[in-house]
Chain A
Amino acid sequence: MSYTSFGYLFLFLPLVWLLWAVLPRRARPAVLLAASLFFYWMSAGRYILWILAAAGVTWLVGLILGRVDDLLTTARAELSPPGRKAMKKQAGAVKRLAVGGGAAILLGVFLWLKYWPFAARSIAAVLDRLPGALSLAVPSYVLPLGLSFVTLMAVGYLVDVYRGTCRPAQHYWQVLSFLCFWPHVVEGPFDRWNAVSGPLLDPPRPAYTNLTFGVQRIVWGLAKKMVIADRANMYVKAVFDDYTQYSGMAVVVGTLLYTLQLYAEFSGCMDIVLGSAQCFGIPLAENFRQPFFSRTVGEFWRRWHMTLGAWLREYLFQPLILSAPWKTLGKFCRSHFGAAMGRSLPVWAALGVTWVAIGWWHGAGWLYLVYGLYYFFWQLLGEIFEPVWTGRFPRITALRQRWWYRLFQRLRTFALVLGGMLIFRANGTRAVIAMVKSLAVPYTGSLLIQLDARDMVVLAVGAAALLAVDLLHERGVPIRQRLAAAPLPLRWAVYIAGVLAILIFGAYGDNYDPAGFIYAQF
C-alpha cells in the first residue's frame, strides 16, 4: 500500500484514526499494532513472517539483557566488592554474548538477503576469469519490505538496552508495535525506542491540533511527491536510462532535476509519514533539516537523511573509534607519524568505514561503494586542507562570516552534491564515466525531454516553493503555527489552494508514469 495511494489516504488512515480515537485509551495501542500489521500484510504479504520473527528475536534478546541487569542490581547489595566485580564481569560477558548473538541474527539475515547476491555475483565474475571449472550460483532474493529500516532499528534498540540507555520492553507486542509501526516501516526514519515507545504504547488523547497539523504535513508531502518528484522523474528517467543519447546541458539539467526529484520525494515521503504519525500524537524523528543550506559536505549529511547518519554515528563510528583495534591503530600512528596524525588517522579510518557503510546501505553494488567513497573523498579533503587554509589565509575565518562567502560555500557544496546525485542515479559505474565525459560534449537537441514547457514552469515554481519553505524553516519561522493563527478565510484559502494545486498539477493519470518511492527499495 503506497503512502500516496487513494486507499492509504482516504480509507486506511481515516479509518484507523477514527477507530483509534473512539476506542478507550487502553485499546489504542492494539489498534495501532493491528493497523501496522494490516498495512505490512497488504504491502508485503507473506513477508510479514519475517518481521514477526525479527521482532521476536529483538524482544527475547532485550528481555535477556534486562534480566541480567536486574539480577546484577539485586545481587550487588548482597555481594562483597570482589564478588560484585566478578559478577559484573560475568554479566558483561553474558550481555555481550546476548547482544552480539541478537545483532548477528538480525544483521545476518539482512546481510544475507541484501548483500549475498551481490557478493556471489562478484565472486562468480572472478571465478569466470580463472582457469578451471569453479563456478558459483548467484541467488536472487525478494527483500522483505523495510528490511534495512527494521533491522537497524532493532539493532539500535538492542544496543541501547545493552548500554542501559533504555529499559527493555516486557511484552512481545510492544517490540512488534515499535518495529512494524506503519509510518516508519517503509522508508524510515530510523526511530529510537525511547523517543517513540511512550506515545505508541500509551497513546495521548486525540487532539485537534495534532490531527490538523498532521494532515497539513501530509498534504505538503503529497505536493512534493506528486507535483515535483513524479514530474521530474519523466525527464530524469529519459536522460539516465538512455544516457548515450544525451550530453552536456541535458545531463546537467537531468542531474539537477534528479536532485530536485530525490529531495522532493524523500522529504515528501517523510512529511507524509511524520504527518501520519502526528495525527496519532506520535512524534517520529525528523530526517531532513534544509540540506541545501549546508556549507560543507559533512554538514549536508548531517541535514540529509539525518537518522541514518545519526544511527551510523551512534552504532558504528563511535564504537569503532572506541574499539581496541582502533586504539592500537592510534598508538601506532602516534609513534610513526606524530601526535597530530596519530589523532587524525584513526578518525579518518573510522570515517572511511562509515562512508562505505553509507554507500553500501543504499544498495549492493560497486556503484554504491563509489557513491560512499565520493563523499568520503570530499570530506577528507576538507579535513586535510582546513588547517592548511586557515594557516595560510588567516583572514578566511573572518571571510566565512560574510554572506557572499557563505553563499559561495553553499553553492560549492551543492555542486559537489550534484556529482553525488549523478553517481547515485546512474545505471552503473560505466554509465557514470560516460555521463561525466558527455558533459564536455555540447547538447544540440531540445532540452524539453519528455516534459513540455508548462511542465518545466511547474517544476521551477515547485522548486521555488520548496526553497522558500526551507528558507523560512532555516530562519526558525513556525509556518504551520503562523498559519493556524491566521483568520479562518485566509487559512482555508491556503489549504484549499494547496489541495487544488496537487490535484491539478500532480503528475498522475494517463499522461504520466509516476515512480515508486526510491528509498522504499532500501
Chain B
Amino acid sequence: MPESTNQKITSVGIDIGTTTTQLVISQLTIENTASGTLVPRVEITDKEVIHRSRIYFTPLLDRDLINAVEVSKIVETEYKAAGLTPEMIDTGAVIITGETAKKENAKAIIDALAGFAGDFVVATAGANLEAIYAGKGSGAALYSAQRHQVTVNIDVGGGTSNYAMFHEGKAVDSSCLNVGGHLIEFERHGDRITYISEPAKIALKHTGQRLQPGERVTLPQLRPIVKAMAGCVVDVLKTSVHTELTKELLMTPPLQLAHPIRKVMISGGVADYVYALNGPTTMAEVTAFGDFGPLLGWELKVCLERDGFVLEKPAETVRATVIGTGTQSVNLSGSTIHLQENTLPIRNVMVISPFTSLIPETPQGIAEVIKNEILRLQVDHFEGIAAIAMKGPRTMSFANINILAQGLLLGMHDYLCKAKPLILVVEADCGKVLGQCINASANKPLELICIDQLEVDNCDYIDIGKPLMGGRVVPVVLKTLVFNR
C-alpha cells in the first residue's frame, strides 16, 4: 500500500464583495504529524499563497446584480497570470458577500464558474462565515491562539462591517453591521455626491443632515455622518445596549461579548486608513476611490482609541477575506472509513444534527430521534444526499458505539432503502470503530462514509472530496448558504 507522508493541494478562493472582487490561489501542505507508534493524524501543516490577483471592482449589471460572465473572465485571466489551468486546482471556494449575497447572484456564479475549480466549486455566502474567513485571513485567529488573547477582527468593506471574535484560535462570536466605506459614492477625487445608499440615508436621518446626490459637500459637512457610522462600529464592541442608529444598522444579532476583548484588528478595504499615521485632510484625499473609505478608516481609529480599545495590525488587510476563503475553507477529517471510493467526491450533502442533548440509551430510542428529525426536515422529499452529524456515542465504550450503530441503521432504514450512501460526521475519535460496527450490524453491504474528529456546528451543507494520503482522510468543505435560509 503506497503511503505518502505529505501531499500538496491547490486551493482557489474567490471573494466577490459589494465593491471589489479578488482571487487568491494557495497551496496547502497536508502531512501525517503523528509519530509512527500512534494512529496517523493528518493535518494541514502549511498554507502558502502562491498567487494574489489584482483587486477588481465587482462587475455589476445593475446595483446589486453581479455580472457572472465578467467574473468568470476575471478568474480566467488570473489563472493565466498564475500559470495554472483548472485541472491543476484541487478545491475552491467562492464567497459572495455583503449587499451582493443574493440567491440570484449565487446561482449565476455557480453556473458561470463550474469547471474553474477542479473537483468542486463552492458558493458560500453569509455574513457570519464571511466574518470568520476575514478573521482567519487577517491573522486575528492565529494571534488569539499564539498570544492567548481574545481578539476581535472587524472586516470593514464597502457595504458592511463583519465582526468575528476569536478565543484560542476559535471563532466564538460574530456579527454584521451595515457600515462600510462605499455607502455614499462621489466623483473620484471630487466633492460631488453621486449616490447615497439606504443605510447611509438612515445614518443621515440620525445626524439630522440633508444630503442629496448631485450635491457638493465639504469635509466638515461629511465628517459628522462618517463619525456617526464609526461610532456604531465601536458601539457593537462596547456594549449590548445599543444606540438607535446601531440597532437599525445591525444586520444580524449583535456580538454577545461573552469574553473581554484584549485586541482589535481591522481588515478590509478601509483598514489601511485605520493604520495610517495621518487622516485625510481634503475631500480629494477622501474620495480617491469614489467613496468615503479613507475618512471612515481614520474616524474608526479615533473612535476605537478614545474608547480604550487596543489596535493590533493584521497580517493582511484588504485581502483578508479572500485569503481566509482560499486557505481556511478546507477542513480535514480524522481517520475515516469509506467503502466505495468512487462515490467521492460528493457535493451539497445536507447536514442533519438530530441529537440536541445526550444520545438515547437504546437503538430504538436513537432510531426514533432520527426518524422524527427526518420527518421534521422533510428529508424524504429531499432528492439529494444527507449526512447525520453528532458529537459521538453516549460514552466511548464499545457497547455504546454498537448501540449507536444499530440505532443509526434502524433510524435510517427507509433512507437507505433508496440506495443512498450512509454518511456520518462524528466529533469524537471513533469513526473507524463506528463504521466497523455498522458494517457488522448491517444485513447487506452498505455504501458508508464515516468521518470523525470534525465539528460541523452551524453548517448546512458539506462537500466531501476525494480521499487523500493513501485514503486515510477526506477534505471536507463546510458551507453555510445564506440564500437557503
Answer whether A and B are interacting partners. Answer: no
- Report which A residues bind B (CB closer than 8 A): none
- Report which B residues bind A (CB closer than 8 A): none
